[in-house]
Amino acid sequence: MRIVSNNVSQSFAKKLESKDVTVAEWVILREMFEHQEPIAPSYIADLTGLTRGAISKLVDRLLGKGLLTRKESSNDRRYQEIELTKEAKLLLPKLASIADENDEQFFSVLSLSERKTLTELLRKTAEFNQLTKLPIE
């Protein structure tokens, strides 16, 4: 399992490099895309299981790449919200396609029934081990 997992992950990371995005950045962008509204970085930290410090660094990188905007509260400068830029919204379907293609590359050998069984087994394993956060970087 480790060999497959590591190869799937490494292949995905290499493919994302062509779009100047890391796996950790992809996770942040994807979470934000699902919410479709400005969101506090602390909420992203809670969703992903990353520390607030790690999220802060990732947000800074994504701001630098022009994929996020940040707004500070006029009442409390400690509170801020981040939002996807138009460029990020255009890039995300391409990144999702890369993710889908990567999965297809590795798992197309399985029939639909086998994929369903694999998914069920992995969900059962995750549930048993209370795995709710994504291990990234």
d(CA 104, CA 110): 10
Closest to 103 in 3D by CA, of 8, 27, 10? 8
- 22-47 confidence digits (pLDDT tens): 999 999 999 999 888 889 999 999 88
Domains of the chain: 2-128 (1.10.10.10)
Neighbours of 48 (CB within 10 A): 20
pLDDT of residue 73: 66
Residue 76 has pLDDT above 70, yes or no: no
Does the structure show a pLDDT above 70 at 115? yes
pTM value is 0.84
pLDDT band at 48 (very low <50, low <70, confident <90, very high): confident
- Give 48's contacts (C-beta < 8 A, 6+ positions apart): 27, 28, 31, 55, 133, 134, 136
pLDDT at position 134, please?
66
